[in-house]
Amino acid sequence: MARLPWHRVVGYGAGDAGCNVAFQMTGLFLLLYYTDVVGLSAADAGSIFLFVKFWDAFADIFAGRLVDRTMTRWGKFRPFLLWYSLPLLLMNLACFAIPDFSSYGARLAWGYVSYALLGLLYSLVNIPFGSLAGAMTQDPIERSKLAGARMVGSGFTILILSIFLAPRLKQAANLHATFLITASIFVLIGMAFFMFTFLTAKERVFREVPKVSLRDTWNTVRHNGPLARLCGSSLMYLTGQNVVSALAIFYARDYLRGSGTLLAVATIVTTGAVLYVGPFGPWVTRRLGKKRGFLIGCIGAVAGGVIVFLGRSNVPVAMTGLAVVGICMALLNTMTWALEADTVEYGEWQTGIRTEGATYAAFSFTRKVGQAVGAGLAGYALGYFGYLSSTRGANPVQSQHTLDGIMLTMAFLPAIFFALAAVVMLSYPLTEARHAELLREINARRAAGLTAAHLSAADRA
């Protein structure tokens, strides 16, 4: 199979950087914004995350169906980047622009509505973007390059946030303006990323059915055993990952009593690890295989949590543990995106119809549920251990019970979910050899179909 030109690989990675302008800014900092700027209780903030992420999961199904029914002169997936990227970035700005209402209920309502609209727009951009990889190439190594590129793109966004935003989080009085300025600048940066992807990431994989019916979609997804297992394992590890993402700032700032620099480092070594792990995706795929790479990531993330616990308030040891967790989460993410693209071929092998949009939507549905549960658990854990929210600018002193609770949650709760993800992935059946076999059968069917179509056309002539 033909290798992808470098500009298409880079262009695809830029799309994930654009998506993560909204995803990572809200995932890393929105809980902190709700509690320490808007003054919402940790429990109410956790409820927003839980409700909206479940809402997002159903928005993914809607977006997947819309994608499968779409075909334009630009292709099936790329037009969505053109249509919905700017509204997405503007809604990200709205999430960090809650007015200074005197009414607590009004601030809470703005949080629910703005974050829910962001989730819908994110689905309309991210579902077609994620599906695009399966339409660019069918080669496993080339797909691992695309998966690595999107991880680098994601990591680049996190790096920007870590360098320019995280160090300023100690200055509670200036947080609102800092978030607003950052989100405003990201509207311009994000649009540049999305337009680069639109112009470079071409759809090249042949499809026999341009528009897919609801019945075809359902038949393809419900018989896809590998997709079901991938969804189950992703549900588990995304729950753990989102606990880490939401609590890393609280852990570094409050438990480790870190400076702005330490907050930046904590962000970089956890969620930012995809920047330096992503490029190794093709190497891991060639040497270990995607499934084995996923399992190693799960085991390593559990070990990282144990190191965090053993380190406690010893900053070097604790940060080493966070770095191990971050590297392993990055490996999990890289392997997951490559695995998802393989499940599209399994569905086509089963039914003869490619449904990238629906397959990705089903996969993303369970990811969103994992994100909902993880972010919700982080907020509820803060509330359970007595975290004191900001009183509109002041920084309350947290009790030792609260600080210990943050550390224990950070160390052990994600580890439990990473272990469960490994258990589910053990039964995943699509090895590299099996996937290559499916591709040969699919290509043979396509060749036979094209030959039959040509003969039929010749007979009619």
Answer whether residue 124 shows pLDDT above 60: yes
The answer to whether the CB of 14 falls within 8 A of the CB of 350 is no
- The 10s digit of each residue's pLDDT in 401-410 is 999 999 999 9
Mean pLDDT of 297-308: 95
Answer whether residue 459 shows pLDDT above 60: no
Confidence grade of residue 457 (pLDDT, cut at 50, 70, 90): very low
Question: How many whole angstroms separate alpha carbon 253 and alpha carbon 233?
Answer: 31
Mean pLDDT of 27-51: 86
Each residue of 229-247: b (16+ CB within 10 Å) or e? bbbbbbbbbbbbbbbbbbb
Confidence grade of residue 272 (pLDDT, cut at 50, 70, 90): low
Answer whether residue 207 shows pLDDT above 70: no
pTM, 2 dp = 0.69
Confidence grade of residue 341 (pLDDT, cut at 50, 70, 90): confident
- The 10s digit of each residue's pLDDT in 224-244 is 888 889 989 999 999 999 899
Question: How many whole angstroms separate alpha carbon 390 and alpha carbon 393?
Answer: 6
Confidence grade of residue 28 (pLDDT, cut at 50, 70, 90): confident
What is the fold, at CATH topology level, of the domain defined by 8-454?
Answer: Growth Hormone; Chain: A; (1.20.1250)
Mean pLDDT of 86-111: 93
Mean pLDDT of 303-310: 95
Instruction: Check residue 274 and give its pLDDT.
Output: 65
50 or 195, which is more confident?
Answer: 195
Q: What is the mean pLDDT of the chain?
A: 83
Mean pLDDT of 36-41: 88
Answer whether residue 101 shows pLDDT above 80: yes
Instruction: Check residue 461 and give its pLDDT.
Output: 47
Instruction: Check residue 96 and give its pLDDT.
Output: 93
SS (H, E, C) the chain: CCCCCHHHHHHHHHHHHHHHHHHHHHHHHHHHHHHHHHCCCHHHHHHHHHHHHHHHHHHHHHHHHHHHCCCECCECCHHHHHHHHHHHHHHHHHHCCCCCCCCHHHHHHHHHHHHHHHHHHHHHHHHHHHHHHHHHCCCHHHHHHHHHHHHHHHHHHHHHHHHHCHHHHHCHHHHHHHHHHHHHHHHHHHHHHHHHHHHHCCCCCCCCCCCCCHHHHHHHHHCCHHHHHHHHHHHHHHHHHHHHHHHHHHHHHHHCCCCHHHHHHHHHHHHHHHHHHHHHHHHHHHHCCHHHHHHHHHHHHHHHHHHHHHHCCCHHHHHHHHHHHHHHHHHHHHHHHHHHHHHHHHHHHHHCCCCHHHHHHHHHHHHHHHHHHHHHHHHHHHHHCCCCCCCCCCCCCCCHHHHHHHHHHHHHHHHHHHHHHHHHHCCCCCCHHHHHHHHHHHHHHHHHHHHHHHHHHHHHC
Mean pLDDT of 441-447: 81
Answer whether residue 29 shows pLDDT above 80: yes
Point out the least confidently predicted range of 83-87, 212-216, 348-352, 398-402.
212-216
140 or 251, which is more confident?
Answer: 251
Domain range annotation of the chain: 8-454
The answer to whether the CB of 389 falls within 8 A of the CB of 353 is no
Answer whether residue 131 shows pLDDT above 60: yes
Confidence grade of residue 223 (pLDDT, cut at 50, 70, 90): confident
Instruction: Check residue 243 and give its pLDDT.
Output: 92
- The 10s digit of each residue's pLDDT in 49-94 is 888 877 887 887 788 778 777 777 777 888 899 899 999 999 999 9
